[in-house]
Structure 1
Amino acid sequence: MKISTKGRYGLTIMMELATRHGEGPTSLKSIATRHELSEHYLEQLIAPLRNAGLVKSIRGAYGGYVLSKSPEEITSGDVIRVLEGPISPVEFTEEEDPAKRYLWLRIRDSISAVLDSTTLADLINYKDDGLSDGYMFYI
């Protein structure tokens, strides 16, 4: 499974709203400007997030969007599933080789476990203490 820009930008929106949780609504224009993204594209992404009950819209001159729950209560899995659909590394059928099917199911369950155990609060409070694997590219 490859996460598209829908999922990645959707997480960007949600992390911005989580960062400003409790401060009032945040406009998509400010998020788009801050991250150099298309405001029009973000408008397309916010609708399913609102329909899923993850965000609320606030109308008016100082309107925008807020999280419908605290950042500790919304997982990255919630966001990805709304925007990307079910999590699965491959599409398989019941007739598929049982050993390969077992592998695909384990991969799906592992991905789901990571997404469902990572909240927006975890993402906005993440600090890289040099423990992540850095990639070195040589050209």
Structure 2
Amino acid sequence: MRISTRGRYALRAMVDLALHSDEEPVARQDIAERQDISADYVAQLFCSLNEAGLVGSVKGPGGGYCLARDPTVITALDVIQAVEGPVAVVHCVLPSDEPSCNRVDRCVTYLLWKRLSAMIDDFLNSVTLQDMCDEARQLGLLSPPDKGHGVGGEPSCK
């Protein structure tokens, strides 16, 4: 299993958004510059994240993106699934109406892959944006929020 650039960049952009938004929207160009991601790619990612109900947007001067929910309830799994779909170590354990392999009923490794995928989902679901922001601050990996804005408080796009 490999989380693509899309998933990794979406997580970085969401942590950045959580760190830099509280009372006002954050411009995609600002996120792009801080995270070294093109602004157009940030827009693509946030389109998927918006459809998943994780971010909101405000148009016009002073507009930008904001978290649609509190960072304590948005998980790494939420973000990755919003931009990539289900996470699985092998194709045969992806959720589907039809089995992707005709050996599922007699495969000696199927349960191993299914359990491992469930453990990965459980782990990603246990880590929130708030957790990632707190850890980034503790390790000095990201700059503090601009102008007193940042993680905490109510989502800013209502």
- Give deviations 1:96-139, integer Å, cap 9, x for gaps: 343200110011011001100000000000135xxxxxxxxxxx
CA contact (8 A) 2:26 2:63 kept: yes
Alpha-carbon distance in 1 for matches of 2:41, 2:114:
32
Alpha-carbon distance in 2 for matches of 1:55, 1:76:
14
In structure 2, do the counterparts of structure 1 residues 94 and 123 end up closer, same or farther at CA, with 3 Å as the change threshold?
farther
CA contact (8 A) 1:56 1:65 kept: yes
Higher relative contact order (CA 8 A, sep 6+): 2
Alpha-carbon distance in 2 for matches of 1:75, 1:64:
22
Partner of 2:40: 40
Which amino acid in the other structure matches residue 61 of structure 1?
P
The residue matched to 1:30 in structure 2 has which SS?
helix
Partner of 1:18: 18
Supply the RMSD in Å over aligned alpha carbons: 1.3
CA contact (8 A) 1:15 1:124 kept: yes
Partner of 2:53: 53
Alpha-carbon distance in 2 for matches of 1:101, 1:94:
11
Partner of 1:131: none
Partner of 1:109: 118
- Count how many residue pairs are aligned between Structure 1 and Structure 2: 128
Percent of aligned pairs with the same residue? 39
Partner of 2:131: 122
Which amino acid in the other structure matches residue 13 of structure 2?
I
Partner of 2:72: 72
Query: Normalization by structure 1: what TM-score?
Result: 0.87
Alpha-carbon distance in 2 for matches of 1:22, 1:41:
23
Are residue 81 (structure 1) and residue 81 (structure 2) matched? yes
Alpha-carbon distance in 1 for matches of 2:87, 2:102:
17
Partner of 1:62: 62
**Structure 1 spans left out of the alignment, 5+ residues:** 129-139
